[in-house]
Amino acid sequence: MSSENYVIRNQNAVHFLTFTVIDWIDVFTRANYKEEIVASLDFCQKNKGLVLYAWCLMTNHLHLVCKAEEPYHLTHIVRDFKRFTANNILSKIQNETESRRNWILNAFRNAGKYDHRVKKIHFWQDGCHPIELINNQMIDERINYVHENPVRTMIVTNPEDYLFSSARNYASLPAIIDVEVVC
């Protein structure tokens, strides 16, 4: 599949996005890194026009069903989110207690070594593999896919039991991020 298939063409349409950590490294096993993602999503909702319908943070990737409100552009939100979270999480890895520090940083440095766009360290894989969701059936299917992710990987039995997911919102349970629930 060519890279042109991974372009966000309609900036304000609903999209399914996936952000993946370089080499699928399990960074999001630590609470402080997860909290960084949650805070950044919340910031983008309140300040950058992000409309979030569903999300799920796994150990090495993040799924979103979202769109950008006009006049905002989804590509700008994605760019800023990835840059900000990469910088903040890398800072936490370097400056806070992290038993895997050297191994993780070496992997990120090696990933950035061969990419002329990366100054030192590469955290997120390129792109976000956007899929425009053009009807309600596609939106419902992706929301279900997002919510079932921790069940498929046997982290929880029920989607709503996973704290770092909007499945809790859809089950009318207390959630850590507000989303626009699709009925």
Over residues 69-94, the mean pLDDT reads 96
Which residue in the block uniquely carries the two structure tokens 């993602």? Answer: 37
- Per-residue pLDDT reduced to its tens digit, 150-176: 999 999 999 999 999 999 999 999 999
**φ, ψ dihedrals at 156, nearest 5°:** -135, 165
What tokens were used for 60? 């090495």
Render pLDDT for 40-73 as a digit per residue (tens, 0 to 9).
999 999 999 999 999 999 999 999 999 999 999 9
110 band by pLDDT with thresholds 50, 70 and 90: confident
Helix, strand or coil, per DSSP, at residue 120: coil
Residue-range domains of the chain with CATH? 3-170 (3.30.70.1290)
The per-type count for the chain, helices as H runs and strands as E runs, is 5, 4
Q: Which of 74, 82, 83, 108 is nearest to 19 (CA)?
A: 82
What pLDDT, on a 0 to 100 scale, did the predictor assign at position 2? 38
| E-assigned strand segments in the chain | 15-20, 50-57, 61-68, 131-132
pLDDT in tens, 14-30: 999 999 999 999 999 99
What is the rounded distance in angstroms from the CA atom of residue 136 to the CA atom of residue 124?
Answer: 30
State if pTM tops 0.85: yes
**What pLDDT score does 79 carry?**
96
Residue type, 52: L
